Every structure is written in structure tokens, then in C-alpha cells.
Amino acid sequence: MENSRPRIILSTAISIDGKIATKTNDSKLSSKEDIKRLHKLRSKVDAILVGKNTVSRDDPILTVRYAKGKNPIRIILDSQGTISKKSKILQSCDKIPTIIAVSKKIPQKNLEKLQKFPIEIIITGKDYVNLKLLLKKLSKKKIKTILVEGGGTVNWEFVKHKLFDEMIVTLSPFLVGGEDAISYVGGSGFSKISNSPNLRLKSVKRLKNHLVLHYEKL
């Protein structure tokens, strides 16, 4: 398995209480210095992957802007193909290679909408994108490293299946609170701590009031 999938790095900024966005979806947790660090990292990977909700809530473009280097391929997990035509991702897909991963359950009209854009559509999974199969397909396309930039549901899928190698968490000096605010890792969660992947803390970097924690999965 290890060689048949790309190297996966999970990367997120979290508040001290483990949230990645407020209940109204404000996710601006990183400082300028941390964003620069993130963009340098983006320039070194083959692809960036995010979930559909992150696209609909943040409208990201997922490019390298605050560092030198190439833009990675963008990969969006969007089982039903509901990404907006007006999203920055689709509006810029003629310039930046983009893959939308959908499931077999995608409604025909959504598939036809996507087919009008110069993107690659990868279909895996019955109702939900099958991550293991998707990663196999991406590996065959010579994608060797993927930076997973959230959100919480996507993070859970990678954590649950232990499909990652490194994890970079920026601990930002904020308290968000709220039952409805999105946590770093969502989904149904593990019942026991012993089910968690084992992580080794490789480094801690201080960027003024932010701490960048770099873990590797054992």
C-alpha cells in the first residue's frame, strides 16, 4: 500500500481549542508569516487536496502566491459534483491543472456541467469518493506528494484510514468555542485513544505567537 499511494501531508491552522473555523465559517487563523510558510510548502508538493465544503465556504484558489515556485495540481473531493461554476477553482482551471474527484452517484446534469470545463474528472466510489482508489489513480499519474488542506471531514477520512505520512498543525493564538464550530478532525471519531494513529513530534517552530507543530506518523 505505502508505495501505491502518494506521500500525504495533512496541513491545517487550528485555534487553541482545536477549531479550524468559527460557527460562521471564519477560518482566518494563520498569520502572514504562517501563510508564507504554507505557500513555500505548496510550491514543493505535486498536488493540494481539499473537500467540497472548503471550496463552497472559503472559495479558495489554492495557488502559490507568497513564495517562489510552481502551482501544484488542485484536487477537489466533490462526490455529487456540486462545485459552483463561479468558484475561483473552476474560473481558473484553464490556467491551473485541476482534478475533481466525484462518485458514481453524481447526477448526470452535474457531470455535464463539469465536462464543460478543462478539468480532469475522476470517478470512484459508490456514494462517496473512494480515497484509497483515488490515491492509487493519482499515483499512476505520477503525483508523488499531496498536501491535504482540510476541512474537518476530509481530515477525518485521511486520519480514519491512516492514509497520511506527516501532519503540520499551526497552533494559532485564538479561542473559537462553539459546539457548531468545525473541529480539526470531524467525522464520527475514534472510541479509544489506542485507535489513534501514533505520531512523533519532529519539530516545533515558533512564528511570533503561532507554533508550527510538525509530526510524522509512525
Ligand X SMILES: Nc1nc(O)c(N)c(N[C@@H]2O[C@H](COP(=O)(O)O)[C@@H](O)[C@H]2O)n1
Ligand Y SMILES: NC(=O)C1=CN([C@@H]2O[C@H](COP(=O)(O)OP(=O)(O)OC[C@H]3O[C@@H](n4cnc5c(N)ncnc54)[C@H](O)[C@@H]3O)[C@@H](O)[C@H]2O)C=CC1
Question: Within its chain, how far is the Cα of 92 from the centroid?
Answer: 18
When CB distances are held under 5 to 8 angstroms depending on the partner's kind, the choice from ligand X, ligand Y, none that residue 52 binds is ligand Y
C-alpha closest to that of 124 among 76, 73, 79, 74: 79
From 25-33, 90-98, 121-129, 131-139, span contacting ligand X (CB under 6 A): 25-33
Instruction: Tell me if 157 contacts ligand X by CB under 6 A.
Output: no
* Minimum distance, C-beta of residue 5 to ligand X, in the bound complex (Å): 21
One residue of 13, 83, 100, 159 binding ligand Y per CB under 6 A: 13
* Minimum distance, C-beta of residue 25 to ligand X, in the bound complex (Å): 10
C-alpha cell of 164? 497520511
Q: What is the DSSP string of the chain?
A: -GGGS-EEEEEEEEETTSBSS-TT-------HHHHHHHHHHHTTSSEEEEEHHHHHHH-------SSSSPPPEEEEE-TT----TTSHHHHTTTTS-EEEEE-TT--HHHHHHHHTSS-EEEE-SSSS--HHHHHHHHHHTT--EEEE---HHHHHHHHHTT--SEEEEEEES-----TTSPBSS-SS--SSGGGSPPEEEEEEEEETTEEEEEEEE-
- The total number of residues written for the chain in this structure: 218
When CB distances are held under 5 to 8 angstroms depending on the partner's kind, the choice from ligand Y, ligand X, none that residue 182 binds is ligand Y
Give me the 37-76 binding string for ligand X, x by CB under 6 A, dash otherwise: -x-----------x---x---x-xxxx-------------
Instruction: Tell me if 153 contacts ligand Y by CB under 6 A.
Output: yes
> In terms of CB distance, is 6 or 150 closer to ligand Y?
150
* Minimum distance, C-beta of residue 103 to ligand Y, in the bound complex (Å): 7
Give me the 82-121 binding string for ligand X, x by CB under 6 A, dash otherwise: ----------------------------------------
Instruction: Tell me if 20 contacts ligand Y by CB under 6 A.
Output: yes
One residue of 74, 114, 151, 215 binding ligand Y per CB under 6 A: 151
The CB density around residue 170, as the number of other CB atoms within 10 Å, is 22
* Minimum distance, C-beta of residue 156 to ligand Y, in the bound complex (Å): 7
The site for ligand Y (CB under 6 A) is made up of: 12-13, 20-21, 25, 27, 29, 50-54, 57-58, 77-79, 128-129, 131, 149-154, 157, 182, 186
